[in-house]
Structure 1
Amino acid sequence: MNALKQKTLDLLWEEPYKIGHWVGFKDLTELHNGWLRSFLFGSSTQTLLAHRGSYKTTVLSLFLAIYPVVRPAENVLFFRKTDTDVTEVIGQAEKILESPVMRKIVRNLYGVDLQLEKATGSEIHTNLCTSAKGISQVLGLGIVTSITGKHADVVVTDDIVNIKDRISRAERERTKMQYMELQNIVNRTGRIINTGTPWHKEDAVSMMRNVSRYDCYSTGLIGRDKLELLRKSMSDSLFAANYELKHIADTDAMFTNPVFSADETLLYDGVAHIDAAYGGEDSTAYTIIKRRKDGQIIGLGKLWHKHVDDCIPEIKRVHEKYRAGSVLCETNGDKGYLAKELQGQGFKVNTYSEKMNKYIKISTYLRQSWPQIVWLEDTDPEYIDQILDYSEFADHDDAPDSAASLIRETERGKIKVLDRRKLGIY
């Protein structure tokens, strides 16, 4: 073996993360080198749980680029939550493969020029593969895609569990069923590599084997000041899941187990509420509810991290999509500014002056009604998460405040519902 080939093999075995440095990922450390080596040369199923911002997906993209070179006869099936998520990572792997450093590595190892015979954003196949399998070396799929008949030497999952799995039992069960199916497509001598974040004690992460955890305190990748800023920018549960890799127990939670429906017609002719943000860390929350004769309450919630003025076009779109009637907003903070803006946009507006303590309002009206509420699946996950995370000392309460205010006012019968059918709007 010539010296150049041996030097290249030593690089791939001992310090593959340096390839990341050469293609622009300068922040990769010895920690990432360990992750990458375990992905490339491990022989058993493994699960890497690492905090957001730890570059775990960057390491995966390096793996997807390097593996077809060091194991050209094997194939990899790569899964993320959706097809769009897949394209992001596969596209990055393709760019790494097209880099001068990877072309030099291939020339040193095999004495040929690297050619990408397939580079579609979901598939990678090179001229190095001599297998007669007739399948791409790397194929990326959304986790809900049909995988019947597929087989792989290595199955990789990345973030197939997300915030939807926290708030929806149906989503958790869907993901778990698909994850169980992955066990059937791994070849007899193959393995599964999982990376991601746990969101719920009963999500698919709970089924994954050989787990290694790297929280925000153990990696040293995020300074304490930055961590405190991140902690203040999101709910406690989001920070715990994304950075501490743990769940906040639901034992003492005021709100648990939200129920969802896909039937948007159930919400038609409902009434809406806007909890407006005018700057700072507050969000603009928008809620629609429809009270049914059987006592059930159908709800929809949206949340935007921006000034209410910037949200009005999107609010109008959602309002019209779900055929909502009147919209309710308080006048305490803005002296009626938002009401006038909405009226100018053609909304039927009801106003009120808030006099009730926020915690008492939420813990009374929203909590009492919670068992009767069915949320449309189009509800923003962050909206529901803010409700699930609510306590008297919560930093973010725009969503539960909006929902509680609307439930209270409709319960009191103070909103004049705009009946669009009677007005001949349909």
Structure 2
Amino acid sequence: MAQDTEAQAAAAPAEPSAPARALLPLILPALVVGVASSLLFLLVSGLAEHLQGLLWENAPDALGVGRYSVLWVLVMLTVTGVLVGLVVWKAPGHAGPDPATLGLAAAPIAPRALPGLLAAAMLMLAGGPSLGPENPIIIVNVALAYWLGRRLLPRLPGALWPALADAATIGALFGTAVAAALVVSESLAGRPARGALWDNLFAPLAAGAAGAMTTSLLAHPSFDLGLPPFGQPHWGDLALALAIASATALFGLAVVAAFPFVHRVFARLGHPMIALPVGGLVLGLLGVLGGRLTLFKGLSEVAELARDPGGWSAGQFATMAAVKAAALLVAASCGFRGGRIFPSVFIGAALGLAGHALVPSAPPGLAVAAGVLGMLLAVTRQGWVSLFTAAVLVGSPAILTLLCAASLPAWLLVTGKPQMQLRPDGTAVR
């Protein structure tokens, strides 16, 4: 019986591929969505960086206050909470849904909520809370693509537009279409197969490539941290990668487990003009404890850590990771609009560098990559994105094999566990 079943499965016809004439009409919409998504991302990021310079450099210099003094950190984070709270309270659509309920894939929301969401995201990025730009930008791009696409090209399926915008924004964020293709392929794995894989990836990949190329040509981003090159791997390197990835995955699971409880505390405050200022004050206290490197989304700060892997002790790296994790929990729970990937990269890198400080013979690039891999697996539950992000931070092809091996025990630790995403009722998504 089993042999008959296997023979029938082997003899089943493969899913037919779409003809080229069915895919060609998708190229132009994909390219337009890709370019537009990247331009919006660059605009929001540029405005936020300019505002950050005004708030954290020009303003304290003009007032004669230290840029990252205790007073200024507390004031800036609390004021950011007040301003974002006002936007969430008063803006049409209340700046979109609760960010704790969102992942990388976004459903279209009403266009009237987008200005408030953009304002809240820019204030957050400039003000110092530990969240990244990915979720708000994805939500805005998905909503705009869906709203405009259905009106301008109603013959195309409505589900196409969110997929294009999602892939385009991820391509723009990472500066490469590979990240977009990996995310889309992972999302397709949980759905019934309709056509060949590359037929389903065709339009999103075009959008991701357009978004990545636009970002690369205009902003020249680089995720390579410039760590010492990683040479030929050894058995000791494999053991190190397995240990660090698994340890950071366990740390990430502890953060994820605390998420519903921290979110519940802020939800009980009941109003954004209470929850967000209180959250801002707590983030200010954490910023004072952890120092300026634990503020903001974390990507520039990771690069600063990587420039001097021996500049801090293992205890200092671990303290920064713990403070950043607490700041991520608070910022994601109290209502700040932002994503969790970039702060998780900082946490994983800091824990990896703590491992390097404990074992100085360990290659710092491998330690950082393994730390980022484990943390992202726990927080995002996106295997391909975790591998890709960890690999591009080091820029060494030889490290990829070790990361693939290290991902296996780390995945066994995180699979089936709650994710860092909540349902509307506050329970964790699994």
Bucket of the pairwise TM-score, normalised by the shorter protein: under 0.3
Answer with 1 or 2: which has the greater Rg: 1
Q: Name whichever structure is richer in helix by fraction.
A: 2
TM-score (norm 2): 0.25
Higher relative contact order, structure no. (Cα contacts within 8 Å, ≥ 6 residues apart): 2
TM-score (norm 1): 0.25
